[in-house]
Each structure stands twice: as structure tokens, then as C-alpha cells.
Structure 1
Amino acid sequence: MALAGAELGWVALWLLVSSAHSELLSAAFEVAYGAHLLPLIAGAAVSAPLVRSGDRRGWVHLLTVVAAADFASLVLGLCVAVWVPGWLWRSAVLLALCAWLAVAAWSVIFVRRISASRTALPSRPVDAVVVLGCGLVGRWPGPMLCRRLDRAIQLSSPDVPVVVSGGQGADELTSEGQAMADYLHSTHGEHLRRHHNQVLVEDRATNTRENLRHSLEILREHGLAIREVAVVTSDFHVQRTEMTTDVVAGLDRENGGNVRFSVFGAYTPPVARPAAHVREFVAYVLWTLRGLKS
């Protein structure tokens, strides 16, 4: 649908340029439309490895990136259409160009924050580390989740518990929490023993808010005084997670708590990065706009 929407945008621009009855503008638009195929081909090329990897959503990821490239390439058509005679049409095209530039600037800021989250470290000592779950491969964490768990080990200090949080999906053989715990004990067992890091399993959560709420409950059930909590997720998911931590921390204060969250990103495997960044940017924009309305 998104891809069709972008192509409809090109059709609308073509109709606008055609109405000017200018051979020069028509020729320029044909060049722009031909050039717009280059980012589409590039998007398909960078996403093709995910299709070959056997991921069930591989084609969806590929089409997501191609659709994003198609929308981005509309700027080429807009740059031609802005020369169509008539102040009304020019004003509309200029407004569309401004909107395109605003989204482009927003996406640059989004990507820069993603990059910063991968190497950020806690500014204050943390009392616990919570790792958010995501997809499994059989009974084992997938590549993206393994990166999150490795990042959690990097952030964990001696005697700091690590909560692995995630329920069992309808198509999963075990809970994400249990698979994450198995990975940590198998891959980082020596580190956990040497630093006395207890691994606590939360296996009921179905979304980020439940991840945080249930993890706090488990930590407090173990008699742990929790003030500073580091939350680990994938880099592209950091900004939406921060929105959720603000909500959960507010609810915790209403119930007499005083928890503070800080969110840290883990590298996303390169093969999954383009589609993940596109989807999350769109979701982040929608969440932000919804928040501004409320």
C-alpha cells in the first residue's frame, strides 16, 4: 500500500507537470522519474540478503525499504513541479517540499540518536539491567536479541541483577525470557559468576510496558531496592522505549515508587537494519504526533 501511495504521488506530479504543456518540464520530469528508480534498486539490493536468509518476513522488509526509497525520491519530481506556472500550484509544491525537508531532517536526527545509543554508558550506577525480548529462532535468541543480551553484559556491574523479559508468542517454542536466560548462562556464564550477576526471568510480558512493569515487580519481589534501571533494546527501538519508560516511571511514582529508567541500544544486525530503521522511524513519528495531540 505504501509503495502504491508513493507511485500515486508520482502520477499526481506527472499530471501537474503535463498541465503546463511545456516540453522542457515534461522532459525534466521524465529524467526525474527515471532517476527515482535508482534508490528503489539500491533499497532492494540492501534488503535482498534478508530474503535469502529465509526470514518469513523477508519480502515484507524488502518492500518496506523500497517503499521508503520511493517516497524519498518524490523530491526529484517536486523539484521539477515547482516550476509549473501558477502561484497556487507552486505554493502547494513548495509546501510539499518543506514537509519533505522536515521529515528528512527528523530522520537524520533519529539516525544520529540511534548511533549514539549504541555506545552510551550509564551516567549513574544502576541497580538493575532489564533486557527487552524479541524474536527467537527455535528455542534460541535470534541475532538481534543476542546483540541485546551482549550489550546488557557490557552494562552490568558487579552484583547488579539482569532481568530478561519476554513472554511466549503463539509461534514460539518457549518464552523469550527463558531463551534469553539460557543464552546468558551458556555464553556469559563465567562473567555472571565472577561478577555475581543474578539472572531473573520475566516470562509474561507481551509488550514494552509489560516488560518494564513485570520486571520491576520481580525485582521488588526479590527484596531489591530499585532506583536506577538500565533498559536494553535494539538501537532503532530506543526512542519509543524512552517514551514508554516515561509512562511507567510516572505510574510507579503514583504508587509510591521512585524508579528512573535509562535506555541503551544494541547494534542491529546489518541485514535487518534498513527495514527496521524505516519501520521504527514511521512508528516513532506517529507516536510523537499522537502525543502532541493528547
Structure 2
Amino acid sequence: MKRLRSILKGIGMGLCVLGFLWFLMPLLKGGTGIGMMLGVAVCVLGFLLLLGYRLLSRKGSWQRIAVRVVSVCYVLGLCWCGYLTILMSSAQSRVPPPGTNVMVLGSQVYGIEKMGVSLTKRVERAREYLAQNPVANCIVTGGQGSNEPCAEAEAERHALIQMGVSEARIFVEDRSSNTRENMVFSRIVAEENGLGTEIVIVTQSFHMYRALMLAENAGFNPYALVADTDPVLFPLYYGRELLSLTKWNLEQLFLE
């Protein structure tokens, strides 16, 4: 039994080290943020708990209680993250019927002709879909942030037109500042232009579940169209989405 515990401890510490390195990967491309810091903190805490649990549990009563409480909370937190990860993965299976209209969710832009990596991937995926579904229309979304020179929707529209998509197929929602507003204002655009309630959401895999839930809340019948994610930056986005989903669930629980 003692040998088994040592093996399991070693495996756990090894996984914490690998996780630590994985969450630091975005630094290779200059990426940083709260999602990365969350992942790093979780891995470091897990390593320290595995390293010092037996020592602290043998000390005085308050150290024993403290390390056990922290350990239980840590395990529950990992279970919660696992649950959210399953939801993120399952959301990608909502395949749209042919010809369904598409919505591109906004993200960072640096100019009318320069979009961030995530938004570029979304626009490219939407263009592929529109080429395969010539009867489908497109709603581009996203307002102008304080650090952006133009509305995200305008950059998306410009890019799609440059890629050969007819301007008549593109409808603009340029007032939103977050995903919830993307959906609310896009629903108004859809109603005003007779686009119906069935919509294909274009975003990255980690973001799809929350996007679909918010689309449903806004009155859409949504489907998933997953855009590529830079694998080096994925840990950053994944950690940030875990926090966003936790915040969203708390709002659903206490504010609605």
C-alpha cells in the first residue's frame, strides 16, 4: 500500500509539472492573462499539496484541518473544471442543417484589415461555410472596444468581401461588447431582416458551449461551427473560459 501511494504521488506530481509547462506555452507567442495564471496556480497548488499533505496532516490540529479542507476544495474544483470541459466538448456536436444562416462572433481587431488570430480563424471558417452553402447569409458581430480602431463587425465584413462573399449576404451587428450582447443584438438584426431563428455560431471550441447557451437565451436555435485554435495559445483561452463559465453559472444561479 505504501509503495502504491508513492507511485500515485509521483504520477500526480508529474502531471502537475506537465500541466504547469502546458499553461506556460502561450508565453512562446507573447500570450499572457488570467487564464494562464489560473492554470499555473492550480498546478503549483496541486504539486505543493502532494508534496506536503502527509507532513502537515501529522502536525497540530489546525494544520491538519487546514490541509484537509484545502485538499477537498482542490479536488472539488478539479471535478468542476472536468465537468465544464465535458460541456465544452459536447457542444461541438451540434451539426447544422445545410443552408442555415451563420453568425461570426467578434474578437480583437487591430484595424479594418488586421484582425487578431482568433477572429481571423473564425472569418476563414465562415467563408468556407458560405462557399459550401450559397443560400446562407451571415451576421458579423462585435462593436468597437476602447483599444480598437474600428468595430470588430466592420473588420469581419471587410474581410469576407475581400474573400469574395457578396456584400448582400452580410448583415452587421456592431453595438455589442461581449458574447451576451452579440446574441441579443444579433437577434434584433435577424428579426429586422427576416433571417429566422436558426443560426450557426462560428467560434473556437472552448467558447462554443457558452455561446450556444447565450444564443438560446436570446431566442435562437443555434448550431456549432468550430474555428481552428492556435494550439500554443489554447491553454490561455481554455483557462479564461473556465473562469467565464463559472462566472456565468453563478450569475444564472443568483441573479436570475
> What TM-score do you get using the length of structure 2 for normalisation?
0.76
Whether the 8 Å CA contact 1:159–1:197 is kept in 2: the answer is no
1:143 to 117, 122, 129: 117
Query: Superposed, which structure 2 residues align to 1:95-106 within 5 Å?
Result: 95-106=69-80
Q: Which residue number in structure 2 is paired with residue 174 of structure 1?
A: 150
Change (3 A) 1:153 1:102: farther
Q: Which residue number corresponds to residue 133 of structure 1?
A: 106
Give the equivalent residue in structure 1 for 2:188: 217
Give the direction of change, closer, same or farther, for the CA distance of 1:209–1:40 in structure 2 (3 Å limit).
closer
Whole-Å Cα distance in 2 between the matches of residues 178 and 197 of structure 1? Answer: 14
Match of residue 199 from structure 1:
170
Count of residues paired in the alignment: 241
Is the counterpart of residue 69 in structure 1 residue 43 in structure 2? yes
Contact 2:142–2:152 (Cα < 8 Å) also in 1:
yes
Give the 3-state SS of the residue equivalent to 2:146 in structure 1: coil
Q: Which of these residues, 58, 80, 88, is aligned with residue 84 of structure 1?
A: 58
| Identical-pair percentage | 25
Q: Which residue of 2 aligns with 1:164?
A: 140
Partner of 2:201: 231
Structure 1 pair 45–132 and aligned structure 2 pair: CA distance change class (3 A): closer
Corresponding residue SS for 1:270: coil
Deviation at 1:162, TM superposition (A): 0.7
* Alignment match, 2:29: 50
Query: Alpha carbons of 1:247 and 1:103: their partners in 2 closer, same or farther (altered >3 Å)?
Result: same
Counterpart-to-counterpart distance in 1, 2:215 and 2:93 = 20
Q: Which of the residues 230, 245, 252 maps onto 1:284?
A: 245
- Is 1:114 aligned to residue 88 of structure 2? yes
RMSD: 3.4
Structure 1 residues 155 and 237, CA gap change in structure 2 (3 angstroms): same
- Are the counterparts in 2 of residues 81 and 93 from structure 1 also a CA contact under 8 Å? no
More contact order relative to length (CA 8 Å, sep ≥ 6): 2
Runs of 4 or more above 6 Å deviation: 34-37
Give the drift of 1:242.
Answer: 3.1
- Are the counterparts in 2 of residues 126 and 228 from structure 1 also a CA contact under 8 Å? no
Instruction: Give the aligned residue type for 1:166.
Output: G
Distance 1:35 1:60 in 2: 23
Residues 237-257 of structure 1 deviation map (CA, whole Å, 9 limit, x = unaligned): 2232234223322xxxxxxxx
Any gaps of 5 or more consecutive residues in structure 2? Answer: 1-9
Moved more, 38-47 or 102-111: 38-47
- The residue that corresponds to 1:21 in the other structure is none
Question: Is the CA contact (8 Å cut-off) linking 2:204 and 2:226 kept in structure 1?
Answer: yes
Q: 1:145 to 1:66 in 2, by over 3 A?
A: same
Aligned equivalents of 2:181 and 2:229: distance in 1? 23
Shift of 1:200: 1.5
CA 1:37–1:112: 2 relative to 1, 3 Å: closer
What's the TM-score, normalizing by structure 1? 0.67
Contact 1:40/1:70 (8 A) holds in 2:
no
Structure 1 gaps, min length 5: 1-30, 250-258
